[in-house]
């Protein structure tokens, strides 16, 4: 199966920059592209917090981490989720960072907020290189820059290969080929990230070529460019980096900075509402959340994260205030 036989796909579809993008129902839904079971509905699974692991009919909840599989026709997604994971915060209705797929007709503020966050995330993925916001728990030796790898620990092929010890056997690409093409396994589903550019790809189908997909989704990656130059000279680079005709971006571009109306909309998120109930100043909450969304493209994933962000923001204001007031006249 050659890459020429593949359907052209929008660049945003299989990309990710952070594992926490699984908090979006729309992202979870995309992991079910090769879902093999007719017994459980992928829409219902994604709605209930699950993503597809790529192995048999196994799914995993983003919020409690529980794996469930071997779905039978009479199974009910929510009933089974609650039975096997009664402690799941999502099932219990506690605050999570879940971003449901809002029906586009929804015209209340929460519905508008969810639709906005979904569109904002999709637009950033489609139009922006990863900003080295990987979440693999490795310590970085230096702050990443354009030349600096996102995960310098994995610059060697054999160290990347070792991250694939729990790679799902049913996944569409082989661990050896992925490690060769610069990827490390995140431990989640079939999600891998490039050690150099930090770009992530998921939902591997049989016949996918890791080098070609790396070049297609992250054409500016220095590791890919170096490889292509070695492989085929300048013409080889041209061929992979500029497929003809290039598929039109499916997601419209938009400014990353939030408008005042969009920032105001953030205050309708349940986590923001809880902060306001706790007595935090609404301008502080709004500005802190605005910065968080503009920086990462995602809303906070928990109340604790939101609290940290708000406290950090208050600290930064106080610091700049005391710097100004202690400056000699």
Q: How far is the CB of 214 from Zn ion (least distance, A)?
A: 6
- Per DSSP, the three-state class of 193 is strand
Q: On the CB side of 208, how many CA atoms lie within 13 Å of its CA?
A: 26
Q: How far is the CB of 85 from Zn ion (least distance, A)?
A: 5
Give the residue with the Cβ less far from Zn ion, 61 or 102. 61
H or E segment and range at residue 13: none
Contacts with Zn ion by CB under 5 A lie at 61, 63-64, 85, 88, 194, 196-197, 218, 221, 223
Q: How is 22-58 classified by DSSP, letter by letter?
A: GGBHHHHHHTTTT---SSS-HHHHHHTTEEE-SSTT-
Q: Which of 167, 239, 236, 237 is nearest to 204 (CA)?
A: 167
Q: How far is the CB of 166 from Zn ion (least distance, A)?
A: 20
Give the residue with the Cβ less far from Zn ion, 221 or 289. 221
Contacts 24+ apart (CB under 8 A), 274-280: 274/95, 274/303, 274/306, 275/303, 275/306, 275/307, 275/310, 280/310
Q: Please, which residues bridge with residue 13 across strands?
A: none
Give the residue with the Cβ less far from Zn ion, 197 or 300. 197
Q: How far is the CB of 135 from Zn ion (least distance, A)?
A: 16
Residues 6+ positions from 230 with CB-CB distance below 8 Å = none
Give the residue with the Cβ less far from Zn ion, 21 or 196. 196
Give the residue with the Cβ less far from Zn ion, 123 or 196. 196
Q: How far is the CB of 222 from Zn ion (least distance, A)?
A: 8
Q: How far is the CB of 60 from Zn ion (least distance, A)?
A: 9
Q: Which of 12, 31, 263 is nearest to 128 (CA)?
A: 12
Give the residue with the Cβ less far from Zn ion, 51 or 63. 63
């Amino acid at each position: 199966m050659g890459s020429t036989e593949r359907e052209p796909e929008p660049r945003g579809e299989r990309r990710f920059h952070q594992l926490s993008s699984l908090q979006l129902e729309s992202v979870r839904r995309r992991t079910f592209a090769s879902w093999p079971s007719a017994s459980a509905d992928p829409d219902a699974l994604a709605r209930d917090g699950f993503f597809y692991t790529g192995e048999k009919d196994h799914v995993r909840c983003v919020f409690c981490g529980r794996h469930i599989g071997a779905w039978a026709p009479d199974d009910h997604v929510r009933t089974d989720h609650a039975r096997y994971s009664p402690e799941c915060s999502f099932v219990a209705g506690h605050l999570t960072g879940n971003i449901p797929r809002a029906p586009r007709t929804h015209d209340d503020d929460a519905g508008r907020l969810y639709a906005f966050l979904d569109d904002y995330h999709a637009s950033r993925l489609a139009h922006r290189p990863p900003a080295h916001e990987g979440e693999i728990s490795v310590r970085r030796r230096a702050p990443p820059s354009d030349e600096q790898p996102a995960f310098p620990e994995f610059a060697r092929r054999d160290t990347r290969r070792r991250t694939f010890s729990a790679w799902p056997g049913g996944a569409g690409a082989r661990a050896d080929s992925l490690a060769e093409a610069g990827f490390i396994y995140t431990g989640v589903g079939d999600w891998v990230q490039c050690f150099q550019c930090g770009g992530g790809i998921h939902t591997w189908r049989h016949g996918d070529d890791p080098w070609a997909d790396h070049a297609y989704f992250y054409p500016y990656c220095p590791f890919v460019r170096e490889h292509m130059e070695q492989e085929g000279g300048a013409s080889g680079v041209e061929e992979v980096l500029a497929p003809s005709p290039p598929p039109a971006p499916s997601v419209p571009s938009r400014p990353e900075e939030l408008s005042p109306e969009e920032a105001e909309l953030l205050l309708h998120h349940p986590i923001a509402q809880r902060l306001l109930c706790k007595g935090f100043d609404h301008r502080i909450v709004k500005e802190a959340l605005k910065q968080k969304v503009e920086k990462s493209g995602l809303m906070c994933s928990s109340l604790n994260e939101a609290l940290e962000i708000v406290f950090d923001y208050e600290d930064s204001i106080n610091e700049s205030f005391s710097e100004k007031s202690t400056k000699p006249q």
